[in-house]
Amino acid sequence: MRKIILLIVVCACFCAGASCSVSCDGSPIPWPNVDTELDRATCTIRIAENATGGTATAMAEITTAAGWPVELGEGQSVQVNGQPMAAAGDSGEYAVTIPAAGTYTVTVTEPTRGVQTTSQPTPPDFQITSPTEGGPASLSGFTVSYSNPDAALQVSIKLVQTLFGHEEQMVVGPLADTGSKSFTAQDLAEFRQGADLSIAVTKISRHDGINGFAAGQLSVERTRSVKAKPQP
């Protein structure tokens, strides 16, 4: 009982001016959700085109300068291409699914500061040129090549293989978008013959700062993938 009382007292010290719930049944205790002006908060927004190509999902994390999750209050909102983001998952996380677009505009509404917007383009379309779909990928080393390199973008590459129910994966990047990335035998040592190797290349358009927040980052991603057959 003393531990429970102490826990409530400690939480109360942190939760002054915030909405906070305390669990005493052994389940994890959530971080308090802090109410604050958005122009004093930090926001990271990641917009990723979905595999179907017709939609994109925007995920946001909003925190105070001290790292506390922020709960959107009355009159506050964050919209992507006109669609409001809603609370999702852990405290301070928000999401919305929207039609895929060539440019995404984030609109931040803060009653004390008004409405501000930030726009960021989607990386241009591209294709993985090597390895080809269903083609060989030597475990002695191979190069992933893709079209339309752009020095203004970054790229990450993910290799995934599932063999006998076990998944092995490797992610490299973000790297400079140069049009290719080579993998050595040492890099590929955990992969085997006998199951397809999924290769996904993600191009990232990134902008530091989101108008309406004290600090933040807005990124837009487009991914293309192929499946290759591991060879000696």
Confidence of residue 22 (pLDDT cuts 50, 70, 90): very low
Three-class DSSP labels, the chain: CHHHHHHHHHHHHHHCCEECCCCCCCCCCCCCEECCCHHHCEEEEEEEECCCCCEEEEEEEEECCCCCEECCCCCCEEEECCEECEECCCCCEEEEEEECCCEEEEEEEECCCEEEEEEEECCCCCCEEECCCCCEEECCEEEEEECCCCCCCEEEEEEEEEECCEEEEEEEEEEECCCEEEEECCCCCCCCCCCCEEEEEEEEEEEECCCCCCEEEEEEEEEEEEEEEEEC
Mean pLDDT of 168-189: 94
**CA-to-CA separations, 139 to 185, 199, 227, in angstroms, rounded:** 6, 13, 14
Report pLDDT for 110: 93
Lowest mean pLDDT among 25-34, 43-52, 76-85: 25-34
Whole-number Å distance between alpha carbons of 20 and 36: 14
Domains of the chain: 31-121 (2.60.40), 128-204+221-231 (2.60.40)
- The sheet with strand 77-80 has its strands ordered as 83-84, 77-80, 103-110, 114-121
pLDDT, residue 65, reads: 86
Q: What is the mean pLDDT of the chain?
A: 86
What are the tens digits of pLDDT across the range 64-119?
988 899 989 899 999 999 999 998 876 789 999 999 999 999 999 999 999 999 99
How would residue 165 be classed by pLDDT, with cut points 50, 70 and 90? confident
